[in-house]
Amino acid sequence: MSGVGKTTIAKHVYNSNFRSFKGSSFIENIKERADRHGLVQIQMQLLSDILIGRKVKIQTVSEGIIKIESAISSRKVLLVLDDVDHMDQLDAVLKMKDRFYPGSKILITTRRERLLRAHQVTKVYKVETLNYNESLELFSWHAFGQDRPIENYMEHSKMVVQYSGGLPLALKVLGSSLSGESIDVWESALEKLKVIPNGEIMNKLRISYDNLQDDHDQKLFLHIACFLIGRDKNYIVRILDGCDFFTIVGIQNLIDRCLVTIDGYNNVQMHDMIRDMGREIVRHESEESGKRSRLWHHKDSFEVLREKNGTQTIQGLALDMHMHLANKPINTNETVLETNAFERMRNLQLLHLSHVRLDGCYADFPTRLRWLCWLQFPLDSIPVDLPLECLIVLEMQHSSLRQVWKGTKFLPSLKILDVSHSHSLTEIMDFSLCPSLEELILVDCTSLIDVHESIGNLERLVYLNTKDCKNLRMLPKNMCMLKSLEKLILSGCSNLEEFPVEMMKKMVSLKVLEIDGIPISELWPERSSTILSSFPCSLLELSLMGCNLSDDAFCRDLSSLSSLRKLKLGENPICSLPSFIKSLRRLDKLSFKGCNRLESLVGLPKVHQRVSIVGCISLRKITLLSPEPSSATYKGDEDWNLVEWEYFYKLEPIDKVDAEMIKLLGLCNLESMPAIRMNSQLFSHPKVSPIQGLYESGIFSTFFVGNEVPGRFSYKSTKSSISFSVPLLPSSHRIRGLNIFATYANEETYNNKAEWKWVSNIIKLSNKSKGLKWTYCPLFYGIPGDGEDMIWLSHWKMENETILQCGDQMVVSVMNGPNKMFRIKEFGVELMQEHHNNMMISTQHNTKSDPNDPFVIGGDLSMWEHIPGIYSIGFCVEIVEERWFNRLIMDADEGDTDKEGQEDEPDYTIARTKAAAAASNNCGLRGLKVLLTAAGLFFTLALVVRSSISQKKKRQ
């Protein structure tokens, strides 16, 4: 996307690093230069730069490729190719890319991601727009010369930021144009932007539109920009294919030019600035609205219809009377338009009306309509004389329809019919009159009692939705003839007299079935298991939320559902995991949302994407069918009572903890100690609890009030870190773990109780000699009361002696989380040794190790491995700021360090991103960690680089 900062980032990378290479070249605006001067001139500049000014004559592109190959194969070079637009531009410079000298780096900026894929660039960084806070700061530097708006301009600044949509180009241009102007000028400019976008911004964004390969893709883009943003891609394909577009390849070309995107719901999206650019192109077609190809602005559409001055140029029109009259006094005579206003629009194909009333006959209405979306349609049936023979999509949501139309109306091209929320609709037409129908949507048609028998004749129907048709009594028996039906939604049809069991078995193509809110166990108590076993084996998604299904409603064997990818069982009175789920090995998503009686999930199979246990307030235990790592995320809520989650953590009262562990840590009489306030990243607020033992990835922890630490610790410190060398051990001993304690209290200056739920204290254990690091943040932790000290005591188990060996340089740190809630008063470390007879020993204790427990050090912690050799255990990454988290696990150990218990200078490791991170801090915006993957360079770039804010600050 133009204006997002690709070139500025590339310049910063180049300027920061070119001195480290034997040769370097930054070729800006390659597309423009190639168009004006040809590819040979680009090759000559590249060679001149690499050879430090030496002139090289080239006659042809082929000759240039040979000479570039000779130059780049003998020296390490840094190349930046900016604004590449065509494959031949890359070939002219990179055709010999396998010949680059080792260590050379190439950065490419382009608006066409497809070029990078075609040239086998394996890693791509997509520059995103700025978030709100970044946008406000960037705009403020250009508008006010400081990082925030001046007094009285805040609200207006917020409006500009919202309008700009995070686009740095727009923020810079608008900020500069408004700088020094009075409030009334700002207000006038903002009003103008609502109608006429800024020309400088539009001209820059238009480059991608102008570079589309033909007018086919340009017209396709304009249709989407004016009428179809946010619509499902398949929906758009149906409509525009009917308008003689090659829509699938056209949309792909628009994606390649960054003019549209496809979101996670398959909807076609477009940045607001790109949308405005497209609409501005249409506005410039003519000064007269009636002579433009598309009318999307309600004011223009209304005036054309009122004045009846539309022409055959108009291909699409949108009018929402509520939007048009939003701030005007309502005049009844003005709000009623006449049908003959459309008479001259012979080429009208796309028509979107809302709250519009038309008087007159429809005999002369445009006959080429492909898409008619008429929300709040005011009549009780569609006029017989309305020409719909070419119609592909008919949407009349929230209409006053009682029947779709009277008499017969043959619609050979109709593919989608949506009359949802038409509460007066009692009768659906004969479906044999629309043989091409693919989607029938009847959501919330509360007066509908049955569906016409002819629905069984719709051989192409793939989607049927009768959700919340609460008075629907019967489904036609011949629906079993719908051999193409892929998605059926009956949710909320709570008055069905008979569940279509036999019909279900014959729907061989059915992939998605949703029957939420149908109380199966109440309506058909003796047939509930029969109903569930009737579902076709073709199902991929099944939703049974709120069907009043208890544990005994499920068959043990539902092998017909073995292909399921998505299953929803939420809001049912189940208490345990239905046994049939254990045989579902292909599940991507599984939901128990709102199952408030659910107590355990024992033998949960591997789920690949997400498990929802939101609202499962009685759930105490999860065990997994297999220890195999899963990529699934588990979604819970703040009413979390889960105390055991196999392979993740386990909480149990301290008096239930294994006696050997208690002895190993030197604990005694903990059960008589007072309860503490426990908190977690999973809680909404702290909970008072008896002292608990926490098992988490091989680490055992407990928290209790006090300042007298049990046991002996060889290394103690009041600093933030301890350094020591692993001592020489007798031949019959080996190290098998560590005990670590920390004493902490509330930070006196910290008062933000709303953030108690965030990250607390952290232990970082580093083996400098072997390049290994373990960072641990407990999922649960104790909160000291005012004037109290809290002791965190933990034991870290080790798998084998090769991880910690004699002479290894160790650094152990205990530190605060990002919120600085607590003050560390003291901490200590004790190495635990094992004798050849399998006895754990330290200065005080002898105890057996349990080989069945997981190990944290040297064990399989792949699920916590951030990068090779660096592990972050227990973090709920979603709730911590990404830059802080990356710095925590990547940077050297910080703060004062005690070496062998004595004060000494800290041992720092230079981080790869230190210089750029410092630049980010100077600039005042959050750092953007960028992996410029084509070049293989790592930088933490400041977003301020995009607009030269740093130079502005220097001038302050």
Return the higher-pLDDT residue of 681 and 156. Answer: 156
pLDDT tens digits, 33-64: 888 889 999 999 999 999 987 888 899 999 99
Q: Say if residue 140 is exposed, middle or buried (CB neighbours under 10 Å; 0-12, 13-18, 19+).
A: buried
pLDDT tens digits, 369-423: 999 999 999 999 999 999 999 999 999 999 999 999 887 888 999 999 999 999 9
pLDDT tens digits, 230-251: 999 999 999 999 999 999 999 9
Average pLDDT over residues 161-176: 91
User: What is the pLDDT at residue 682?
Assistant: 75
Maximum mean pLDDT: which of 434-438, 530-534, 653-657: 434-438
User: What is the pLDDT at residue 749?
Assistant: 60
Return the higher-pLDDT residue of 304 and 658. Answer: 304
Residue 765: pLDDT band with limits 50, 70, 90: very high
Tokens of 97: 């890319």
Q: List, in sequence order, every residue forming a beta bridge with 762; answer none if it has no partner.
A: 815
Average pLDDT over residues 493-521: 88
The CATH number, out of the four listed (3.30.460.80, 3.40.50.300, 3.90.580.10, 3.60.15.10), of the domain defined by the range 6-118:
3.40.50.300
Residue 146: pLDDT band with limits 50, 70, 90: very high
| Averaged confidence pLDDT in the chain | 84
In the chain, the amino acid numbered 679 is N
54-63, 99-108, 549-558, 854-863, range with the lowest pLDDT:
854-863
Neighbours of 107 (CB within 10 A): 23
User: What is the pLDDT at residue 930?
Assistant: 28
Q: Is the pLDDT of residue 428 over 80?
A: yes
Strand, helix or coil for residue 175: helix
Average pLDDT over residues 789-808: 86
Q: List, in sequence order, every residue forming a beta bridge with 109; answer none if it has no partner.
A: none
Q: Say if residue 164 is exposed, middle or buried (CB neighbours under 10 Å; 0-12, 13-18, 19+).
A: buried
**Where are the extended beta strands (E) located within 276-413?**
294-295, 316-320, 336-338, 350-354, 357-359, 371-375, 393-395
User: What is the pLDDT at residue 955?
Assistant: 42
Query: Which residue in this structure is represented by tokens 């433009």?
Result: 292
User: What is the pLDDT at residue 55?
Assistant: 83
- Strand 393-395 to strand 371-375: parallel, antiparallel, or no bridges (unpaired)? parallel
- pTM value is 0.78
Report the alpha-carbon distance of residue 23 to residue 48 in Å, rounded: 10
Q: Is the pLDDT of residue 659 over 90?
A: no
Checking phi first, is residue 903 left (phi over 0); if not, alpha (psi -120 to 50) or beta? beta
Neighbours of 775 (CB within 10 A): 23
User: What is the pLDDT at residue 42?
Assistant: 92
What Rg value do the Cα atoms of the chain yield, rounded? Answer: 34
Q: Is the pLDDT of residue 467 over 90?
A: yes
Q: Is the pLDDT of residue 866 over 90?
A: no
Q: Is the pLDDT of residue 843 over 60?
A: no
Q: Is the pLDDT of residue 924 over 50?
A: no
- How many residues comprise the chain? 956
Q: Is the pLDDT of residue 157 over 70?
A: yes
Report the alpha-carbon distance of residue 503 to residue 506 in Å, rounded: 6
Average pLDDT over residues 749-763: 61
User: What is the pLDDT at residue 901?
Assistant: 40
Q: List, in sequence order, every residue forming a beta bridge with 841; answer none if it has no partner.
A: 833, 846
Q: What is the domain partition of the chain in residue ranges?
A: 6-118, 132-195, 202-283, 649-760+782-868+877-900, 914-955
Q: Is the pLDDT of residue 929 over 50?
A: no
103 half-sphere exposure, CB direction, 13 A CA radius: 11
Residue 303: pLDDT band with limits 50, 70, 90: very high
Return the higher-pLDDT residue of 955 and 267. Answer: 267
Q: Is the pLDDT of residue 110 over 50?
A: yes
Report the alpha-carbon distance of residue 118 to residue 95 in Å, rounded: 12
Residue 708: pLDDT band with limits 50, 70, 90: confident
- One DSSP character per residue, 595-661 reads -TT--EEEEEPP-SSEEE-TT-TT--EEEES--S----EEE--SS----EETTTEEEEEGGGS-HHH
The fold of 202-283 is Arc Repressor Mutant, subunit A (1.10.10)
Tokens of 650: 């386990």
pLDDT tens digits, 247-271: 999 999 999 888 999 999 999 999 9
pLDDT tens digits, 14-36: 999 999 999 999 999 998 888 88
User: What is the pLDDT at residue 440?
Assistant: 97
151 half-sphere exposure, CB direction, 13 A CA radius: 0
In the chain, the amino acid numbered 304 is V
Eight-class DSSP state of 233 = H
pLDDT tens digits, 675-696: 999 888 777 778 898 999 999 8
